[in-house]
Amino acid sequence: MIRYFSAEDIESKAKDIILKLNMNHIDLERLSCVRSRGSKAKRTIARCHALSKIWQKSLGTKGKYIIEVISENYDNLPENEKEKVIIHELLHIPFSMGGGFKHHKNYVTRKRVEHLYKEYKSKDGIERFK
C-alpha cells in the first residue's frame, strides 16, 4: 500500500530552484510536494501529477501540480541528483499551468536538466558539477 506524506524539504528545494532559475510561470500556491512510501515502482524516482481539466471544471479551481518523490528511490540519492530530479519534474509543468504536461521529447531532456542544474548551482555560488 502506498502512503503519502507532506515533503516540506522537497517543497523548499523546489521553491529555491524555481526562484533561482526564474521559472516565473510556476505559481508556488498551486504546487505541492509529497513523499510516497510503499510504491512498487523500480525505476521511477519521482512523478509530476496534475489536476486535469475535468476536475478543475468540476471543482471550480485552476490547475494544480504535485511533485511526488518515491522515498525508496529518491531519499538515498546524492544531493546533486536530488536537485536534478526536482528540476526534471518542474520542467514537466507547462507555462499555462492548465493541467497538462510538457513531455520528454524535445523538452524535458537530460541535456536541458544538466544545463539548468549548472545554472542553478552558479546562482548560489557553489560549483559542484559532476
List pLDDT tens digits, range 20-63.
Answer: 999 999 999 999 999 999 998 889 999 999 999 999 999 999 99
Contacts of 46 (CB under 8 A, 6+ apart): 67, 68, 69, 70, 74, 85, 86, 88, 89
Residue-range definition of the domain harbouring residue 54: 3-123
The string of pLDDT tens digits covering residues 57-116 is 999 999 999 999 999 999 999 999 999 999 999 999 999 999 999 988 889 999 999 999
Q: Is residue 81 part of a domain?
A: yes
The string of pLDDT tens digits covering residues 52-71 is 999 999 999 999 999 999 99
Q: What is the CATH number of the domain that holds 41?
A: 3.30.2010
Q: What is the pLDDT of residue 106?
A: 84
Count: domains in the chain: 1
Q: Is residue 31 part of a domain?
A: yes
Q: Is residue 128 part of a domain?
A: no
pTM of the predicted structure, to 2 decimals: 0.91
Ordered DSSP codes for 64-121: -EEEEEEHHHHTTS-HHHHHHHHHHHHHTS-TT-SS----TTTTS-HHHHHHHHHHHH
Q: Is residue 113 part of a domain?
A: yes
Q: Is residue 129 part of a domain?
A: no
Q: Is residue 58 part of a domain?
A: yes
Q: Is residue 130 part of a domain?
A: no
